[in-house]
Amino acid sequence: MSVKIGVPRGMYFYKFYPFTKRFLTELGTEVVPSPPTNKEILDMGSRYCIDDACLPVKVYHGHAEYLKDKVDYLLIPRLTSIVPKEYICPKFGGLPEMVKYSVSELPKLIDVEVNMYKNRRDLINSILKVGSMFTKNPYRIKRAADKAAREQKIYDNSLLKGELPCKYIDGTDVTKSNSGPLVGIATHSYLLYDNFINMNLLEKLSNRGIRFLLPEMLEKKVIEEKCQILEKRMFWSSSKDLIGSALYMMENKKIDGILMLTSFGCGIDSLSIDLIQRLGRKKYHKPFMVMTLDEHTGDANFNTRLEAFLDLIDRRQAN
């Protein structure tokens, strides 16, 4: 019987799952992702996680709790830096400890650190460390990593072309609208692709005849170029992606409005959103709305705000 490795469906799951799955499967393990977030998972996350954590971290705890009795290992990497000379939010670095001390009776954790701040090669060491838990053959680990990198590339390219992660990962999809206003959605993947916590935003927009442009549909070089406007280099990767994509969406004349999803209590986002508003909002005069999500966000409240934003776009177009 093969070793089962649980992968909680939260934080950077939608960014790196294809690599993770292929790499671990090639090493002979069985990869078990938790299901899409639901009420039970969110409730468990809110119960076990500390109160003042952001929503995505709470949700992550719920997924870890869901998986803990079903697998031999839980993969909770300590992500410190995934781009040279940049850090990501410190919550990613503290995630293994947060889960370890909040969720009881966990299986063994794979909490390898990924820190590419100084050197991309550090990623190779992290991969070797995880691989050597399941095979002593370094060539097998290298082959598995190569195949996983190819799988990840195919996935990234499909998102760039407008496909949604759910199609690649779960075989489900949203029937997108081919006409109608185009809305840019600037946010993080863990808010954008978690349909439970974002109240099925993409489906709601599609049903209302709205098209959308997402950060994953933009080339990295476009985001980098837009961030050149900043006086200082942005050293948080997630902020850089947010600011670069929002500025692109503001400048692009084909985009009729910008929606930003953020999590209550996210310090990094509050800084980024303030910068975005100062740099672009007044200049481009487009409908712009920030929707803040937390575990108490209700469908009715969310829908009312969304409708108000879409009405604004409709009125602008009518004029």
Q: Please, what is the angle between helix 267-276 and helix 237-251, to 10°?
A: 30
- Min. distance of Cβ 194 from ligand SF4 in angstroms? 12
- Asked if residues 246 and 213 have their Cβ atoms less than 8 Å apart, the reply is no
Q: Could you say whether residue 91 binds ligand SF4 (CB under 6 A)?
A: yes
CA gap 209, 258 in Å, rounded: 16
- Min. distance of Cβ 63 from ligand SF4 in angstroms? 14
- Please give the C-alpha separations between residue 312 and each of 77, 78, 235, 265, in angstroms, as whole numbers: 42, 42, 35, 27
Q: By CB neighbour count within 10 A (0-12 exposed, 13-18 middle, 19+ buried), where does 183 fall? A: buried
Q: Which is nearer to ligand SF4, 153 or 196 (CB)?
A: 196
Q: Which is nearer to ligand SF4, 52 or 105 (CB)?
A: 52
Q: Which is nearer to ligand SF4, 57 or 247 (CB)?
A: 57
Q: Which of residues 179-208 bind ligand SF4 (CB under 6 A)?
A: 188
The one-letter amino acid code at 108 reads K
**Cβ contacts of residue 87 below 8 Å, gap of 6+?**
80, 81, 117, 235, 236, 237
Q: Which of residues 22-81 bind ligand SF4 (CB under 6 A)?
A: 54, 56-57
> In this chain, which stretch among 28-36, 121-129, 266-274, 292-300 interacts with ligand SF4, using CB under 6 A?
266-274
> In this chain, which stretch among 25-33, 141-149, 159-167, 261-269 interacts with ligand SF4, using CB under 6 A?
261-269
Give the residue, chosen from 71, 75, 82, 89, that forms a contact with ligand SF4 under the rule CB under 6 A. Answer: 89
- How many Cβ atoms are within 10 Å of 23's Cβ, its own excluded? 24
Q: Could you say whether residue 263 binds ligand SF4 (CB under 6 A)?
A: yes
Structure-token pair, residue 260? 């930003």
Q: Which is nearer to ligand SF4, 26 or 269 (CB)?
A: 269
Q: By CB neighbour count within 10 A (0-12 exposed, 13-18 middle, 19+ buried), where does 61 fall? A: buried
Q: Which is nearer to ligand SF4, 162 or 267 (CB)?
A: 267
Number of residues that bind ligand SF4 (CB under 6 A): 11
Side-chain-side CA neighbours of 56 within 13 Å: the count stands at 25
- Min. distance of Cβ 188 from ligand SF4 in angstroms? 6
- Min. distance of Cβ 16 from ligand SF4 in angstroms? 15
Which stretches of the chain bind ligand SF4, using CB under 6 A? Answer: 54, 56-57, 89, 91, 188, 238, 263, 266, 268-269
